[in-house]
Amino acid sequence: MSRACGGNGGVIINVSSMAGLMPAPQQPVYTATKCGVIGFTRAMAETSKRENYGVRINTMCPAFVNTPILKTIDEEENMGKYFKDRDAIRKMMSNFGILEPAAVADGLMKIIEDETLNGAVMKITKTKGIHFEDYATGYLQEVQEVVMRKDPEEANEEVTESRKC
């Protein structure tokens, strides 16, 4: 897929979850893995852009989706010690609402069709529909620019100085 390997470029969409953007204390491992998907996606998107791979890499974070996995909160063997928290999870489901799979498909199509999206973190919720996580990219871009042109010690000093009030 990468132009660096003779490919034509393309789109990769990683699937995370809203749990990757906010703490889900009833599911700490799930939260950690979904947070990792977001970080990995953003890092690889920057690499693809910098190296001109021609591959856009994005992630989507749907809230609760009407799939069979939602029923597993009632299965103690699946939930383990967090089985006791199933009522709290049900309350979160009630507060967030439950998406139909078609809403996720709409998000996938938006990412595929919008060629400006790279490194985007799409959120899909019942209340707000499709929207995006807003990251402070200005600071990250500044850090990357400084690091790419300076030795590490000098870069660290310059970034630190630029952030003083």
Q: Which residues are catalytic?
A: 30
| C-alpha closest to that of 20 among 95, 122, 111, 108 | 122
Query: Do residues 3 and 54 make contact, with C-beta atoms less than 8 angstroms apart?
Result: yes
Q: Are strands 121-125 and 55-62 parallel, antiparallel or unpaired?
A: parallel
Strand order in the sheet with 10-15: 10-15, 55-62, 121-125, 129-132
Measure the CA–CA gap between 60 and 131, rounded to whole angstroms: 10
**Local structure of 56: helix, strand or coil:** strand
